[in-house]
Amino acid sequence: MANKVDLSAFDNSWYQPGAGIIKRLCWYFINEIFFQTGLFPSSRLKVFFLRMFGAEVGKKVVIKPHVNIKYPWKLSIGDNSWIGERVWIDNLAQVIIGKNVCLSQGAFLLCGNHDFKKSTFDLLVGEINLEDGCWIGAKSIVGPGVVVGSYSVLTVGSIATKRLIPNMIYKGNPAEIVKERKISE
């Protein structure tokens, strides 16, 4: 039997973004104007808008310019967390960012993918959970369904495709343990 992909049969009508078209359209414009540009560097204003659209956001959260967030109503950010320049949170599913988490420049949280085994290329989604104190390095990718354990590090340009256990440093594609993370006081 020959391999064949038929994208005309793709159907993700089962997927629910969690908000109506008007709310999604309003968020689209707020995201473009206040988040994806460098014109409004204030984290307070960004936190205000995130909360207004249903995100749970803790205290002293820093959100840098040029950040892209798909659906704030599927986002939770803990106290003292940092979202760096050009971070993309493509949260088709819930994204939970714990306390004291650092997302460095260009990090990509990707909650969706496609089932390459099916000819219809069905949409697959999975939650992402970044536990307290973890650090996602610049240009790194965290895939659907991944839990990044507390105080673990995903180094620059690495890709997490499975659970990262706490207190470890990960590197590569796919990310593998390099060594234990030891934090000095």
Encoded tokens for 156: 């620059």
Q: How confident is residue 101, by pLDDT bands cut at 50, 70 and 90?
A: very high
Q: Among 78, 79, 84, 80, which residue's Cα sits nearest to residue 109?
A: 84
Lateral strand order in the sheet of 159-160: 68-69, 88-90, 108-110, 141-142, 159-160
**Coil, strand or helix at 121:** coil
DSSP state, 5? -
Q: How confident is residue 1, by pLDDT bands cut at 50, 70 and 90?
A: low
Is there a contact between 75 and 81 (Cβ–Cβ < 8 Å)? no
**pLDDT over threshold 90, residue 185:** no
CA 6 to chain centre: 29
What domains are defined for the chain?
19-180 (2.160.10.10)
Task: Return left, alpha or beta for 38; rule: phi > 0 is left, psi -120 to 50 is alpha, else beta.
Answer: alpha
Whether the bond between 41 and the residue before it is cis, its omega within 30 degrees of 0, is no
Alpha helix locations (H) across the chain? Answer: 21-30, 43-52
**pLDDT over threshold 80, residue 3:** no
Dmax over CA atoms of the chain, in Å, equals: 61
Is there a contact between 60 and 43 (Cβ–Cβ < 8 Å)? no
Average pLDDT estimate for 144-150: 98
Task: Note the pLDDT of residue 2.
Answer: 62
**φ, ψ dihedrals at 8, nearest 5°:** -65, -20
**pLDDT over threshold 90, residue 127:** yes
Q: How confident is residue 111, by pLDDT bands cut at 50, 70 and 90?
A: very high
Average pLDDT estimate for 142-165: 98
